Amino acid sequence: MKLGRLNHIGIATPSLEASIAYYREVMGATKVHAPFDLPAQGVKVCFVDTPGENGSAGTQIELIEPYDETSTITGFLAKNPAGGQHHMCYEVADIHEAKAWFEGLGCRVLGEPRIGAHGTLIFFVHPKDMNGVLTEIMETPKEGAAH
Amino acid sequence: MKLGRLNHIGIATPSLEASIAYYREVMGATKVHAPFDLPAQGVKVCFVDTPGENGSAGTQIELIEPYDETSTITGFLAKNPAGGQHHMCYEVADIHEAKAWFEGLGCRVLGEPRIGAHGTLIFFVHPKDMNGVLTEIMETPKEGAAH
């Protein structure tokens, strides 16, 4: 496998509203997408764009607030009440090939590929097998799809 | 202030060597820079490049291993023995203007601007004032400088 684009950094937050205000007012973000629910994971999500090199699209910030006590984010916030960095998401060309790659290396893939926040298939890999970082692998959206 | 480029994600690790092997062999990184010491912070550092959109340079991974017990990374690893996401670093055009901006908003800037891993001036801002994330602010390297 070849290292793909770092699509986004997932940031858990106890308040999507406060985090959006932080990115706008403290960090000066100008492109904040509309928040939406991701019921499969019991979370509300909001993407914030960062600028890439030479006018390209940079790695996004994915703000994540749980709205359901069964959400995996709820446990993270219990340990980190102010929120913080939750996961890193890399793109791959083919999600099934990527799953076979990680499993072949003995990395624990957490569940089957499912539709993620960008509308393409994703899975997570256990942080203990990924250099201490909860890692999301997502299939690159097709040309013209929203970042 | 306007949101700048996400220059790198700092990842603390108990073993730079093992983390480099992980990025090369598991994640498929092809551009791993030469590790070097950053004595002011008591750490060894290694940058790994990720690809950006349309051939641009993406956000880097900054692997950080403490070689000194007084390093701030030592405390982080005591709590997170496997390592993990430690900080996020955004670029700004002028480090002194940025310091005045954050201080004006009541955000705790940790020390005076000093030379960071990319050879430009940097400072850190307290995670409690930065949406739960330890945040590094760095002056963008001049044209032609190494990423």
For A79-103, the pLDDT digits (tens) are 999 999 999 999 999 999 999 999 9
Establish if A145 belongs to a structural domain. no
Interchain CB distance below 8 Å, A128 and B82: yes
Active site residue A136: yes
Establish if A144 belongs to a structural domain. no
A24 touches B: beta carbon within 8 Å = no
Establish if B114 belongs to a structural domain. yes
Read off the CATH number of the domain in which A103 is found: 3.10.180.10
Question: A40: which 2 tokens?
Answer: 């499969």
Establish if A1 belongs to a structural domain. no
Interchain CB distance below 8 Å, B131 and A54: no
Chain A residues touching B58 at Cβ < 8 A: 5-6, 52-53, 58-59
Establish if A82 belongs to a structural domain. yes
- CA separation, residue B121 to residues B51, B112, B115, B126, B134 (Å): 25, 9, 4, 17, 17
Establish if A147 belongs to a structural domain. no
Would you place residue A131 in the very low, low, confident or very high pLDDT band (cuts 50, 70, 90)?
very high
Minimum distance, in Å, between the CA of residue B50 and any CA atom of chain A = 6
DSSP secondary structure string for all residues of chain A: -----EEEEEEE-S-HHHHHHIIIIIS----BPPPEEEGGGTEEEEEE--B-GGG-B-PEEEEEEE-STTSHHHHHHHH-TT-EEEEEEEEES-HHHHHHHHHHTT--EEEEEEE-TTSSEEEEE-GGGTTT--EEEEEPPPTTS--
Residue B61: domain span: 6-139
B140 touches A: beta carbon within 8 Å = no
Structural domain count, chain B: 1
Interchain CB distance below 8 Å, A132 and B27: no
Q: Could you read off the pLDDT of B82-118 as tens digits, one per residue?
A: 999 999 999 999 999 999 999 999 999 999 999 999 9
Chain B residues touching A56 at Cβ < 8 A: 52-54, 56
Q: What is the mean pLDDT of residues B11-29?
A: 98
Interchain CB distance below 8 Å, A9 and B5: no
Which one of the listed residues B103, B136, B139, B143 is annotated catalytic?
Answer: B136
pLDDT of residue B144: 53
Q: Could you read off the pLDDT of A32-70 as tens digits, one per residue?
A: 999 999 988 899 999 999 999 999 999 999 999 999 888
3-state helix, strand, coil in chain B (%, to 5): 25, 35, 40
- CA separation, residue A13 to residues A59, A64, A74, B86, B126 (Å): 18, 6, 10, 16, 16
Whether B147 shows a pLDDT value over 70: the answer reads: no
Would you place residue A144 in the very low, low, confident or very high pLDDT band (cuts 50, 70, 90)?
low
Establish if B146 belongs to a structural domain. no
B29 touches A: beta carbon within 8 Å = yes
Sequence-distant (≥ 6) Cβ neighbours of residue B39 within 8 angstroms = none
